[in-house]
Chains A and B, each alone.
Chain A
Amino acid sequence: MEFKDYYTILGVAKTADDAQIKKAYRKLARKYHPDVSKEKDAEVRMKEINEAREVLSDVEKRAAYDSLGSGHQAGQNFNPPPGWDAGYEFSGSSGSNSHRGPEDFSDFFSSIFGNSSRAGGGRRSAGPQPMQGEDHHAKVLIGLADAYIGSARMITLRAAKLDEAGRVVNEERTLNVKIPKGVAAGQHIRLAGQGSAGYGGGQAGDLFLEIQFTPDPRYHVDGRDVTQTVSITPWEAMLGAAIEVPTPSGDVQVKVPPNSQTGRKLRLKARGIPGETPGDLYLQLKVVLPPADTDKARELYETMARELAFNPRDVTAQSSTHAK
């Protein structure tokens, strides 16, 4: 495992006092908080920054880390020497830094400060009292069509766990998860018992998968309602037509009413995302004009210009045509 230089991560000197560490942390937290940051690696950086603060703002942990740290470089291969932590007692509480789950810490941190800190500040078990394992969270991207028919997804999760010798090892596991028909973006699927193992014979935690749709420029999704743009020709728009439209639930025959303009919405009831109250599918019409790139096309447009007294900028003429 790699040695982590917490001082470099926060950009402070080894002699930095509490106030300097807090200031450096706040500046970086504002830049890298994954909920507000535009940086690509925000989540990874925030985890490092939090971890660095967790250690450096805690007198006991900082002393222990400093005793280990001399002679190590960031990124260097690192294994804590056996019995190194004799004489250090980690209370596991460091003021504001509670509410952390095991996924919030690196293997490096866990190997030094152990399982007690991984259970989150203040939640350290004093004895063999059974305690439920932590819940895990992950996001899953699915296509809109998957929400219509349901699908299965292979999900690979990486989590640190302790082996028989008490060492931290990375374990990868792959789950084949059924995505039920009718999921909406932002909904969760809960998989019971797929989180962290329990402590002292406690129950395992759960795994929560948050569903998000892969962005698709063809569709606009609002809850269970779906809007899709449909391109039509000027003659289909004006004369009316029966057209075939590919939709997330398959091809559909749709009647375009005569005198339709761009922007007109046709509602197909219950053809949105399925559910107890299924959503609707809206087809938004977009008239696409054929280019005047041949003599024939040019001639047709010239005929229209001559024969149709049409000025779209003349509001009064437009409304009088509608009134007829």
Chain B
Amino acid sequence: MTPFNPITGVLIDDAALTIDELAQACSVERLWIQQHVEDGFLECTVALAMHDADRWPDWRFASRQLIRARKLVAFERDFDANPEIAALLVDLLEEIAELKRRLG
């Protein structure tokens, strides 16, 4: 591929990620994503009723969840943090980012 032919990608959110795509993008197993959705640390874009573990083929994930999941993986891995603490940390970071954004 020559660098001068622009390549077009897919905009995530227009096409959300499946559970396997999210797992692959974060270098984790599908089970890790399933557990984090069930525990409420990650959200999928489908109706809440579909959050049941056996509905995972229907789950879709938006861009924000990819950013969240990658941070959760990093905190759990780098600090040996349990998922609750990692999620709490990511929640706080999101809140700080939002406040900073509002401050402009």
| A residues in contact (CB < 8 Å) with B | 26, 29-30, 33-36, 46, 50, 96-101, 120, 123, 132, 134-135, 137, 152, 154, 173-178, 180, 182-184, 186-192, 194, 205-210, 217, 220, 222
Q: Are A222 and B25 in contact (CB under 8 A)?
A: no
Q: Are A180 and B8 in contact (CB under 8 A)?
A: yes
Q: Are A206 and B7 in contact (CB under 8 A)?
A: no
| B residues in contact (CB < 8 Å) with A | 1, 3-13, 24-28, 63-64, 66-67, 70-71, 73-80, 89, 93, 101, 104
Separation in Å of the B98 CB from the closest CB of chain A? 10
Q: Are B24 and A188 in contact (CB under 8 A)?
A: no
- Nearest-CB residue, chain B, relative to A189: B9
Separation in Å of the A90 CB from the closest CB of chain B? 18
Determine the chain A residues whose CB is within 8 A of the CB of B12 once the complex forms: 187-190, 208
Q: Are A186 and B9 in contact (CB under 8 A)?
A: no
Q: Are B78 and A33 in contact (CB under 8 A)?
A: yes
Q: Are B24 and A99 in contact (CB under 8 A)?
A: no
Q: Are B13 and A187 in contact (CB under 8 A)?
A: yes
Determine the chain B residues whose CB is within 8 A of the CB of A100 once the complex forms: 27, 77
Separation in Å of the A102 CB from the closest CB of chain B? 9
Q: Are B93 and A178 in contact (CB under 8 A)?
A: no
Q: Are A175 and B7 in contact (CB under 8 A)?
A: yes
Task: Report the separation of the CA atoms of residues A100 and B104 in the bound assembly, to the nearest whole angstrom.
Answer: 35
Q: Are B8 and A178 in contact (CB under 8 A)?
A: yes
Separation in Å of the B85 CB from the closest CB of chain A? 13
Q: Are A135 and B24 in contact (CB under 8 A)?
A: yes
Given A50-B78, A99-B77, 8 other A-B residues pairs in contact with their CB atoms under 8 A? A33-B74, A33-B75, A34-B74, A120-B27, A177-B9, A187-B11, A188-B12, A189-B9
> When A26-B79, A175-B3 are in contact, do A186 and B8 touch as well, CB less than 8 Å?
no
Q: Are B27 and A208 in contact (CB under 8 A)?
A: no
- Nearest-CB residue, chain A, relative to B78: A29
> When A134-B27, A174-B3 are in contact, do A191 and B67 touch as well, CB less than 8 Å?
no
Determine the chain A residues whose CB is within 8 A of the CB of B28 once the complex forms: 99
Q: Are A222 and B24 in contact (CB under 8 A)?
A: no
Task: Report the separation of the CA atoms of residues A221 and B59 in the bound assembly, to the nearest whole angstrom.
Answer: 29
Q: Are A220 and B104 in contact (CB under 8 A)?
A: yes
- Nearest-CB residue, chain A, relative to B2: A176
Determine the chain B residues whose CB is within 8 A of the CB of A220 once the complex forms: 104
Determine the chain B residues whose CB is within 8 A of the CB of A186 once the complex forms: 63-64, 67
Separation in Å of the A42 CB from the closest CB of chain B? 12
> When A29-B79, A187-B11 are in contact, do A178 and B66 touch as well, CB less than 8 Å?
no
Separation in Å of the A227 CB from the closest CB of chain B? 9
Question: Which single member of B9, B70, B74, B76 contacts A178 (CB below 8 Å)?
Answer: B9
Question: Which single member of A30, A132, A188, A191 contacts B7 (CB below 8 Å)?
Answer: A191
**7 tightest A-B CB contacts, nearest first:** A189-B9, A188-B12, A174-B3, A191-B9, A178-B6, A178-B8, A176-B6
Task: Report the separation of the CA atoms of residues A33 and B64 in the bound assembly, to the nearest whole angstrom.
Answer: 20
Q: List 12 A-B contacts (CB under 8 A).
A: A29-B79, A33-B75, A34-B74, A36-B89, A96-B80, A97-B77, A123-B27, A176-B4, A177-B9, A188-B13, A189-B12, A208-B25
- Nearest-CB residue, chain B, relative to A155: B3
Q: Are A35 and B64 in contact (CB under 8 A)?
A: no
Q: Are A35 and B75 in contact (CB under 8 A)?
A: yes
Q: Are A132 and B24 in contact (CB under 8 A)?
A: yes
Q: Are A205 and B75 in contact (CB under 8 A)?
A: no
Task: Report the separation of the CA atoms of residues A259 and B70 in the bound assembly, to the nearest whole angstrom.
Answer: 50
Task: Report the separation of the CA atoms of residues A22 and B85 in the bound assembly, to the nearest whole angstrom.
Answer: 19
Separation in Å of the B75 CB from the closest CB of chain A? 7
Q: Are A35 and B71 in contact (CB under 8 A)?
A: yes
Task: Report the separation of the CA atoms of residues A26 and B81 in the bound assembly, to the nearest whole angstrom.
Answer: 11
Separation in Å of the A44 CB from the closest CB of chain B? 14
Q: Are A190 and B10 in contact (CB under 8 A)?
A: yes
Separation in Å of the B83 CB from the closest CB of chain A? 13
> When A154-B3, A175-B7, A180-B11 are in contact, do A35 and B74 touch as well, CB less than 8 Å?
yes
